[in-house]
């Protein structure tokens, strides 16, 4: 019996090692995430208040979660409401507030004569893969490092939404949304809006993913490419070579699906019982994003023919 048990144990240990989690351990979140959270609190970039409340640590499933999550019901000391409470990490809050203060509010005042009172959002923390697609890396939503913005409500109650107003480029509403999207590209490392791909037809995705660095600053993904008049001139090179691409050892979701593209474009009700996860991620935990649109036959996943980054064309 001992002769047969030995090889089995060795094979099991080898398989565990190949899986990347070891026999006695489990996958861990990349260390930069906890470092970014700690630095944000150490620099007092966020102050707990009636609108920003510390929550219990989120540890799992898998490597999903945050060390010090925050429940946020309003931004900018309560001056900008949220239509739903978000669970996000510390660095996202000053980035959102800077974007609102420096870009969104001045543009709203100039175009509509009033300020934005509410940021309308779909969600933030959700333990899921990118675009809920089989076999993809974990989304930045899985770490509370992303927010999906559906639109804005002005002080007089007027709503401006990406799904309705983005295409009206000649109208004040469409121009305002394009300025908000372009401005966000200066404060977040990933910005994906209508036209980036089919998953972002009704919102903009904002996150602070670590894409590495270039000789002009952090590597960013901004899609679709904003008009040149909406972006500042490029920063001067610092003389140093770009940092290598970041390839994080993240969990992936694996589903029993033959064609992930077809599934992404199909109604959820048509996926059937066999579309559940078998290994990797559980069903999404936390906030979830709306289902992707149903496109005409032959429509591809990408509708932006001009990629802006070598790190890929995908929801983070």
pLDDT tens profile 254-280: 333 333 333 333 333 333 333 332 223
Residue 212: predicted pLDDT: 81
Residue 246: predicted pLDDT: 55
The DSSP result for 107-158, as a single string, is HHHHHHSS-EEEEEEEES-EE-BGGG-TTPBBPGGGGT-EEEEEEEEETTS-
Using CA atoms, how far apart are residues 33 and 209, in angstroms rounded to an integer?
A: 9
Q: How confident is the model at residue 25 (pLDDT cuts 50, 70, 90)?
A: low
252 touches 280 (CB < 8 A)? yes
Q: Which one has a higher pLDDT value, 195 or 285?
A: 195
pLDDT tens profile 117-148: 999 999 899 998 887 777 778 889 999 999 99
Indicate the range of 6-20, 116-130, 213-227, 264-278 predicted with least confidence.
264-278
Q: Which one has a higher pLDDT value, 296 or 54?
A: 54
Using CA atoms, how far apart are residues 178 and 103, in angstroms rounded to an integer?
A: 11
Residue 170: predicted pLDDT: 86
Q: In the 8-state DSSP scheme, what is residue 70?
A: E
Indicate the Cα dihedral angle 9, 11, 15, 17, nearest 10°: 70
Asked whether the predicted pLDDT for residue 176 surpasses 50, the reply is yes
Phi, psi of 218 (to 5 degrees): -60, 145
Helix (H, G, I), strand (E, B) or coil at 162: helix
The CA radius of gyration of the chain, in Å to the nearest whole number, is 21
């Amino acid at each position: 019996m001992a002769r047969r048990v030995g090889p089995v144990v060795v094979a099991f240990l080898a398989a565990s090692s190949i899986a990347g989690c070891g026999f006695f351990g489990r996958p861990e979140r990349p260390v930069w995430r906890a470092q970014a959270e700690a630095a944000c609190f150490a620099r007092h970039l966020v102050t707990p208040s009636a609108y920003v409340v510390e929550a219990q640590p989120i540890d799992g499933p898998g490597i999903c979660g945050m060390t010090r999550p925050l429940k946020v019901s309003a931004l900018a000391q309560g001056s900008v409401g949220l239509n739903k409470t978000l669970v996000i990490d510390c660095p996202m809050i000053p980035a959102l507030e800077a974007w609102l203060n420096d870009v969104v509010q001045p543009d709203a005042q100039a175009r509509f004569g009033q300020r934005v009172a509410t940021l309308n959002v779909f969600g933030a923390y959700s333990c899921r893969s990118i675009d809920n697609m089989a076999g993809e890396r974990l989304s930045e939503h899985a770490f509370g490092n992303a927010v999906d913005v559906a639109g804005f409500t002005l002080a007089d109650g007027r709503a401006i939404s990406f799904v309705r107003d983005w295409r009206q480029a000649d109208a004040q509403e469409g121009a305002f949304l394009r300025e908000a999207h372009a401005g966000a590209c200066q404060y977040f490392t990933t910005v994906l809006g209508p036209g980036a791909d089919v998953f972002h037809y009704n919102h903009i995705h904002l996150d602070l993913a670590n894409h590495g660095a270039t000789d002009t600053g952090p590597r960013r993904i901004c899609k679709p490419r904003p008009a040149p008049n909406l972006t500042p001139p490029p920063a001067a090179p610092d003389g140093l070579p770009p940092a290598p691409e970041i390839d994080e050892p993240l969990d992936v979701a694996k589903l029993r699906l033959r064609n992930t593209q077809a599934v992404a474009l199909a109604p959820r009700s048509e996926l059937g019982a066999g579309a559940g996860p078998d290994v990797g991620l559980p069903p999404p935990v936390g906030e979830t994003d709306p289902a992707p649109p149903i496109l005409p036959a032959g429509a591809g996943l990408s509708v932006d023919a001009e990629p802006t980054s070598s790190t890929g064309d995908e929801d983070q």
